[in-house]
Amino acid sequence: MVAGVIQKDKGRRRRGGRGKSHAMSEINVTPFVDVMLVLLIIFMVAAPLLTVGVPVQLPETAASALPSEQEEPLTITLTADGRTIIQTTETNRDELIPKLRAIASERTDNKVFLRADGSIPYEQVVQVMGALNAGGFNSIGLVTDTGGPDLTGQGG
């Protein structure tokens, strides 16, 4: 924001000598708009990169999304090739319950999201849900993609 001096009556001289000069009272908004547009572009590019990125082919349902919480919920991912991932760390199934108990003791929220690839057997999903319950997480949300069939059998 620049304040300058504007001189009035450039062509005429007054009897007292020099012309009076007044402070410019206008604000140049162009640099402010430029900075805001650059910040907008930076946030638009950076926002998609902040999601948990384990590639999984989620099944589709007609259910709506859960409301967002204050604390980031724990995410367990079951991949098509049999791996079990807590947030972004791969874990053996033998070590799953002790790790979940350690995580549960540090958290205030007992909510966990289970992301399971649609091609793995239901039995494996239920076994991991039992391990989550034994580990102290009794509020389990199953993550799916939207747009799947509803109860009438038609796509949503």
What's the pLDDT tens digit per position in 47-61? 877 765 667 777 777
What's the pLDDT tens digit per position in 89-104? 888 888 888 998 888 8
Output the pTM of the full model. 0.53
| pLDDT at residue 39, rounded to an integer | 94
Q: With 80 as the cut, is the pLDDT of residue 154 above it? A: no
Using CA atoms, how far residue 145 sits from 14, 105, 113, 126, in Å, is 78, 30, 13, 19
Mean pLDDT rounded to a whole number for the chain: 79
Q: With 80 as the cut, is the pLDDT of residue 23 above it? A: no
Average pLDDT estimate for 70-90: 84
Q: Please answer whether residues 97 and 82 qualify as being in contact, where contact means their C-beta atoms are separated by less than 8 angstroms.
A: no
Average pLDDT estimate for 20-42: 86
| pLDDT at residue 35, rounded to an integer | 93
Residue type at 70 in one-letter notation: Q
| pLDDT at residue 149, rounded to an integer | 72
